[in-house]
Amino acid sequence: MAKLTFQTDKCKGCGLCVDVCPKGVLALAADKINKKGHHPVEAVNEEACIGCAFCATMCPDCIIKVTRP
Amino acid sequence: MVVFDKPHALTDVPMHYCPGCTHGIVHRLVAEVIDELGIEGKTIGVAPVGCSVMCYDYFNCDMIEAAHGRAPAVATGVKRAQPDSIVFTYQGDGDLASIGMAETVHSAARNENITIIFINNAIYGMTGGQMAPTSLPGQVTQTSPYGRDVNLCGYPVKVCEMLSQLDGPEYLERVAVNNVKNVKAAKKAIKKAFQNQVEGKGFSLVEVISSCPTNWGLTPKKALEWIDEKMIPYYPLGVYKDRTAKEENK
Interface check B6 vs A, CB under 8 A: yes
Give residue-wise pLDDT tens across range B30-41.
999 999 999 999
With CA atoms as reference, report the closest residue to B208 among B64, B88, B103, B106.
Answer: B88
- Judge: B21–A36 Cβ closer than 8 Å, yes or no: no
Give residue-wise pLDDT tens across range B35-82.
999 999 999 999 999 999 999 999 999 999 999 999 999 999 999 999
What pLDDT was estimated at residue A69?
Answer: 86
Beta bridge partners, B63, equal B45
Non-local (6+) Cβ contacts of B10 within 8 A are A62, B27, B28, B31, B58, B59, B60
Interface check B19 vs A, CB under 8 A: yes
Mean per-residue pLDDT over chain B, rounded: 95
Burial of B132 (0-12, 13-18, 19+ CB in 10 A): buried
Beta bridge partners, B119, equal B92, B208
**List of chain B residues whose C-beta atoms are within 8 Å of the C-beta of residue A54:** 180
- Judge: B20–A16 Cβ closer than 8 Å, yes or no: yes
What's the one-letter identity of residue B154?
G
Is residue B246 scored above 90 in pLDDT?
A: no
Question: What gap in Å lies between CA B161 and CA B44, rounded to an integer?
Answer: 27
Cα B151 → chain centroid: 28
Domains annotated on chain B, with CATH: 23-249 (3.40.50.970)
Mean local confidence (pLDDT), B85-92: 96
What pLDDT was estimated at residue A67?
Answer: 94
Question: What gap in Å lies between CA B44 and CA B34, rounded to an integer?
Answer: 11
Q: Which is more confident, B181 or B246? A: B181
**List of chain B residues whose C-beta atoms are within 8 Å of the C-beta of residue A65:** 2, 4-6
Size of interface A-B (CB pairs under 8 A): 75
Angstrom distances, CA of residue B194 to CA of B31, B199, B225: 11, 9, 29
ipTM of the complex: 0.95
The phi and psi torsions of B91 (rounded to 5 degrees) equal -130, 150
What pLDDT was estimated at residue B71?
Answer: 96
- Judge: B4–A15 Cβ closer than 8 Å, yes or no: no
Mean local confidence (pLDDT), B148-175: 95
Is residue B232 scored above 80 in pLDDT?
A: yes
Question: What gap in Å lies between CA B200 and CA B189, rounded to an integer?
Answer: 17
What pLDDT was estimated at residue B248?
Answer: 79
Give residue-wise pLDDT tens across range A43-58.
999 999 999 999 999 9
Interface check B181 vs A, CB under 8 A: no
**List of chain A residues whose C-beta atoms are within 8 Å of the C-beta of residue B184:** 57
Is residue B26 scored above 80 in pLDDT?
A: yes
**List of chain B residues whose C-beta atoms are within 8 Å of the C-beta of residue A68:** 1, 3
What pLDDT was estimated at residue B247?
Answer: 79
What pLDDT was estimated at residue B249?
Answer: 77
Is residue B141 scored above 80 in pLDDT?
A: yes
Question: What gap in Å lies between CA B111 and CA B124, rounded to an integer?
Answer: 28
Q: Residue B139: pLDDT band by 50, 70, 90 thresholds?
A: very high
Q: Alpha-carbon Rg of chain A, whole angstroms?
A: 11
User: CATH top-level class for A3-67?
Assistant: alpha beta
Give residue-wise pLDDT tens across range A24-44.
999 999 999 999 899 999 999
With CA atoms as reference, report the closest residue to A21 among A2, A34, A8, A37.
Answer: A2
Interface check A28 vs B, CB under 8 A: no
Give residue-wise pLDDT tens across range B176-207.
999 999 999 999 999 999 999 999 999 999 99
What pLDDT was estimated at residue B203?
Answer: 96
Determine contact, residues B210/B178, Cβ cutoff 8 Å. Answer: no
What pLDDT was estimated at residue A57?
Answer: 96
**List of chain B residues whose C-beta atoms are within 8 Å of the C-beta of residue A20:** 179-180
Determine contact, residues B197/B86, Cβ cutoff 8 Å. Answer: yes
Question: What gap in Å lies between CA B193 and CA B83, rounded to an integer?
Answer: 17
